[in-house]
Structure 1
Amino acid sequence: MSSQTTITKTIADLLSLVENKYGVGVGLELLRQLGGHNIVSDKGEPPDIPSISNGNHPQVVIVGAGIAGLVLALELKERGAKVILLEASSRCGGRNLTIRPGELIQEESFPAQKCNLPSGQYFNAGPGRISHHHRAVLHYCRRFGLSLRPYFTLNRGALLHRWLPQTNQDIFVKNRQVLFDGLGRLSELAFKGSTSLNLQESLPHDLALALNDWLQTFGGVDEKGNYQEDGKNGYQLIRGGRHDKGKSCPALELEQILGLRLWYDDPRRSSDVIDEQLTMFEIEGGNDGLVSALESALGDCIRLNHGVEEIVQDEGGVTLKGSLTNDSGQTFQLKCDRIVITAQPPVLKNMRIDVRDAWLEAFQALPPRFAVKVAGWMKRRFWEEDLGIYGGITFTNLPIQQIWYPNNGFLEQNGGLLVLAYSALEYGEALGKIAPDIRCLAVQELASRIHPQIKSESSHLMTIAWQNIPYIYSPWMAWTPEKYNQYFHQITRCDRRIAFAGDWCSHLPAWQEGAIRSAYDLIEWALYGKE
């Protein structure tokens, strides 16, 4: 080895050498190749699979007209397949549901609720937002000309609420206080121990200085490593004219943040989760605009009120039997070349499906999940007028878990729709067992601990528990690591002439993106029998 040759110790050294010799552009390209600055090349479009050209147009039946079924039916139809899309309920969309004035929410075993929102208003009972990197959803929004508006998942001015049951106290802090005071307190610890942060070896002096500079910039500590609140965490006294300098909110102590678990708003839906990082969107006029567009494009391919009960396959094709769900008592039978089932496992358990035991075992092993939303029309936008909260989410340890503020109609004088609860897991299960009218009142009482104005400003409440909705029975399926390793790669394969699709057959469960991507996976198989 030449004496001129040096071996770089770190990637940073290598990048520095490349940039010095060949320029920053080459250095950035090397960084991309090493996995940094990943460039998104996927546009969300369906795979480039050719249309049928030999005249052999396969007959494909799709069971379930949710997003996965609608998208798959459209892509197959446009490529020459003969498609029939069966839906057991009286509408398309599945869990994509927007409720408008005069419409009903019907939970199984409970009285129907009628939506009495003001004219032109609506409640997104299903999907509430679309991520900026859910590019397949955005592809169809673009294709159908659906207008989007921003959805503010993150609002640093929204609240974090803690109810202390031992003393029946309510603790309120702003989201920004936990973030910036928390960063500040952690930065204090890191600054004062910066030379020994690396457990394997101490940081070199120059990197320790760089770390301290970083902590001062992002953590708000001074040159001695003490956190200095500078207004990022909010103002106790607002800034104004020449005499109103303002006063920052007192900084939270680390013991307060840790003792009250203030960071623990909801780790499954916090704004730092990749699928909820800004920018988020919602469809103007209601998120079911995507359903309406797909439904219009499919036309008479769709057959509503068709409940499938039995599916049998052999070398000659697939036969399915069922009955109409509109109380007519009529039965039906269809034959096809291939079938795709997009219903979730809680529904599949009640169908007789001719697949191997591994599939049937998985359907029984995957438990349903629980999710409840309660929404209310408020006569006054008190969250804006009284608290300066414009959009976003407040988190709480009460069973309601989240309060969603509307992302439209800012400053309007005729009120707005507030989501008083979005409860999942055990809270969603418990609330779902209560009759809708009592559930609404219970949630109103709980939410009033955070916003007392709710009691006097509510004019109409409505709720949905997705585990109670016929032909759905679960808001989503959550794969545990054990169940994933045991079943996922098995049941997402085709079993001869039968296949399954839906968000639960993807790595984006509970998202429309997952439903569409799972549909994409089956286009070639449905057309040509190639998996």
Structure 2
Amino acid sequence: MKDMLQSPTRRQLLSMIGKTAGATAMYQAMTTLGFASESTFKEELNLTGAPPGASIIILGAGLAGLTAAYELRKAGYKVKVLEYQNRGGGRSWTLNSGDKYTELGGEQVTCDFEEGNYFNGGPWRLPSHHYAVFHYCKKFGVKLEPFIQTNNRAYLHRTNHFNGVPQRLGDVRSDVQGYVSELLAKSVNVGGLDRSVNTEDKEKLLEGLKGWGVLDKDYRYVTSHATSKVRGYSVYPGGGLMPNPQPSDVLPMSELLQSGVWSDLYTNFDVYVHHPTMFQPVGGMGKIGDAFTRECNDMITLNAKVTKIHQDESGVTVDYVDSNNPNGGTKTERADWCICTIPLTVLTQMDINVSKPMKEAMSAVPYDTSFKVGLEFKRRFWEEDEWIYGGVTYTDMPNVQIAYPSENMFTTGSGVLLGGYGYGPTSYKFNALTPQQRIDAALAYGKHIHPQYPKEFRTGTSVVWHRIPWTLGCYGIWSESSREKYYDTLCQIDNRIVLAGEHCSNIPAWQEGAILSGLDTANRLHKRAKAV
């Protein structure tokens, strides 16, 4: 698996954009990819006055479909939801002890965690500006707790730098800040900013840089007790006759520059979508899907695999079979309108009669792939041995990320790490591995950061999204050009059918995008139905 080390990742792509085209271009790229978008949600819909007897069939019981179902039933529509799986919630999915599923190719993936431990196969964190998610969580009684994205005790790691030793995120952040301050101070002292600041401003700037960058009297960033108060000591202050505190060595500037490790700071932690405070549902992200399912339960038919969608001038007919017994006979539902949230990867392979522009738009949106590996360990060694409580470690190895749980801190017994999470070519290679091989790969890479892995490992599980039968991918990818050409068409009401989902939003890959799409679709369809 050594060749996997050369696979570029999403964050490396963003880093290259930032280095070559600047911060503005990188921000635009992040927005296009769905990493820097704020929700437009202001208040819940208050739809009323559905036409007497009007009916709507919704395909898919993910968050987009269930949001629309919930709001349209309140307006007075007769709503029916068909769902391929044996549960609602879609990609709002948590694997718990005893869960199992079959992926494409026939491999069965199991989750043999100890009771109470879980793994989020899909979404795993909620930005604080995703207002619609929080609205429904509060309304439906989903308890939330803080999710720790940034933790200075977590690591940044480069295989071929620092002798392969992972560096504390806080050390890298402090050293980058120190060296930038030193260089700027030198520029001020030699007159490099004479055109930008006057004499008084220079003095204030130098004084500020000395404190901000923890520079010495000569405006140098060097190992000292002062720098250790910011980045941490090699021997921490104690009491009594304990050893005297010893400063930690700052990382050489040349090594920092060559490693590129500081790019992790602005691509993974300083972006708007990861600003604190972030949140997670208590007990796993699936609690959100469970809550929506509970509220809409009487409208949902589970294990319903849609095989054909046919519209005419008066309504929509949907054929479906039992997903557990496809040869058991076809069933049919008829409604005045249809909201389809089936992922485009699946929908484009189905028999559906929509307009030519709509078919072109449906085919124009590829889906990104990603993998996740959950690893359960006998004890929470990252807390007990390394003082890491929450946060994310980033590495240039193919496992890309190791995320530490923000729940159940300071408890004894087992715990679960997100042992690998990545996109792009690296993900393709993980997709080609068997479930056991994915776990083995995550363990093989992770032990270079946490040597405790082999001794403490208990069991693992995984999700590779291109092998999930009901999505065939992770989420819809929009480029600036494809969005300009196809997005509006994709979201239009096509006679009696309208699409919804995260792919029909400006926040792809996030649950907020799915919910907002469901709300907007419900609102527009209600207006159309009343106007007919």
TM-score, L = length of structure 1: 0.86
Count of residue pairs the alignment pairs up: 486
Is the Cα contact below 8 Å between 2:39 and 2:131 reproduced in 1? no
More off after superposition, 256-265 vs 221-230: 221-230
Task: Calculate percent identity across the aligned residue pairs.
Answer: 32
- Pair 197,142 (structure 1): closer, same or farther in 2 beyond 3 Å: farther
Whether 2:306 is the aligned partner of 1:312: answer no
The aligned counterpart of 2:454 is 455
The aligned counterpart of 1:174 is 168
More off after superposition, 238-247 vs 482-491: 238-247
- Equivalent residue letter for 1:300: D
SS state at 2:124 partner: coil
SS state at 1:529 partner: helix
The aligned counterpart of 2:31 is none
- Pair 218,497 (structure 1): closer, same or farther in 2 beyond 3 Å: farther
Is the Cα contact below 8 Å between 1:318 and 1:336 reproduced in 2? yes
Is the Cα contact below 8 Å between 2:361 and 2:489 reproduced in 1? no
Is the Cα contact below 8 Å between 1:44 and 1:138 reproduced in 2? no
- Equivalent residue letter for 2:108: A
Is the Cα contact below 8 Å between 1:320 and 1:333 reproduced in 2? yes
- Report the CA distance between 1:204 and its aligned residue: 3.4
- Pair 183,210 (structure 1): closer, same or farther in 2 beyond 3 Å: same
More off after superposition, 123-132 vs 224-233: 224-233
SS state at 2:229 partner: coil
Whether 2:197 is the aligned partner of 1:203: answer yes
What CA distance in whole angstroms lies between the structure 1 residues aligned with 2:496 and 2:198? Answer: 62
Is the helix fraction higher in 1 or 2? 2
The aligned counterpart of 1:474 is 473
Deviation by residue 1:199-221 (Cα, 9 ceiling, x = unmatched): 9x523334444433443343323
Is the Cα contact below 8 Å between 2:90 and 2:289 reproduced in 1? no
- Equivalent residue letter for 2:294: S
Consecutive unaligned residues of structure 1, counting only runs of 5 or more, are: 1-39
The aligned counterpart of 2:126 is 130
Match of 1:83 among 63, 79, 84: 79
The aligned counterpart of 1:325 is 323
The aligned counterpart of 1:10 is none
SS state at 2:290 partner: helix
Is the Cα contact below 8 Å between 2:182 and 2:219 reproduced in 1? yes
- Pair 185,384 (structure 1): closer, same or farther in 2 beyond 3 Å: same
Is the Cα contact below 8 Å between 2:234 and 2:248 reproduced in 1? yes
User: Relative contact order, CA 8 A, sep 6+: which one is greater?
Assistant: 2
The aligned counterpart of 2:255 is 256
The aligned counterpart of 1:241 is 239
SS state at 1:231 partner: helix
Match of 1:212 among 206, 212, 217: 206
- Equivalent residue letter for 1:235: Y
- Report the CA distance between 1:251 and its aligned residue: 1.5
What CA distance in whole angstroms lies between the structure 2 residues aligned with 1:43 and 1:506? Answer: 12
Is the Cα contact below 8 Å between 1:127 and 1:287 reproduced in 2? yes
- Equivalent residue letter for 2:513: G
Whether 2:117 is the aligned partner of 1:121: answer yes
The aligned counterpart of 1:51 is 48
Whether 2:215 is the aligned partner of 1:225: answer no
- Report the CA distance between 1:261 and its aligned residue: 0.9
More off after superposition, 508-517 vs 156-165: 156-165
Deviation by residue 1:150-189 (Cα, 9 ceiling, x = unmatched): 1111111001111129x9x523110011111101111122
- Equivalent residue letter for 2:76: G
Match of 1:301 among 273, 278, 299: 299
- Pair 45,478 (structure 1): closer, same or farther in 2 beyond 3 Å: same
TM-score, L = length of structure 2: 0.86
- Equivalent residue letter for 1:396: T
Whether 2:147 is the aligned partner of 1:155: answer no
Is the Cα contact below 8 Å between 1:44 and 1:137 reproduced in 2? no
What CA distance in whole angstroms lies between the structure 1 residues aligned with 2:205 and 2:407? Answer: 41
- Report the CA distance between 1:88 and its aligned residue: 1.4
What CA distance in whole angstroms lies between the structure 1 residues aligned with 2:476 and 2:188? Answer: 43
- Report the CA distance between 1:350 and its aligned residue: 0.9
- Pair 493,150 (structure 1): closer, same or farther in 2 beyond 3 Å: same
Consecutive unaligned residues of structure 2, counting only runs of 5 or more, are: 1-37
- Equivalent residue letter for 2:375: G
More off after superposition, 378-387 vs 396-405: 378-387
What CA distance in whole angstroms lies between the structure 1 residues aligned with 2:466 and 2:266? Answer: 22
Is the Cα contact below 8 Å between 1:231 and 1:249 reproduced in 2? no
Considering only CA atoms, is the larger Rg found in Structure 1 or Structure 2?
A: 1
- Equivalent residue letter for 1:184: G
Deviation by residue 1:242-286 (Cα, 9 ceiling, x = unmatched): 665523321223211110111233866x12222221111111122
Deviation by residue 1:457-505 (Cα, 9 ceiling, x = unmatched): 1111111111111111111122122222222233122223221111121
Deviation by residue 1:72-110 (Cα, 9 ceiling, x = unmatched): 111111121111111112221111111112110321113
What CA distance in whole angstroms lies between the structure 1 residues aligned with 2:473 and 2:156? Answer: 28
The aligned counterpart of 1:397 is 396
- Equivalent residue letter for 1:399: P
Is the Cα contact below 8 Å between 2:103 and 2:468 reproduced in 1? yes
- Pair 353,181 (structure 1): closer, same or farther in 2 beyond 3 Å: same
Deviation by residue 1:417-445 (Cα, 9 ceiling, x = unmatched): 11211121111111011111122112211
Say what the alpha-carbon RMSD is for the aligned residues: 2.4
What CA distance in whole angstroms lies between the structure 1 residues aligned with 2:207 and 2:72? Answer: 57
More off after superposition, 379-388 vs 203-212: 203-212
- Equivalent residue letter for 1:50: L
More off after superposition, 519-528 vs 134-143: 519-528
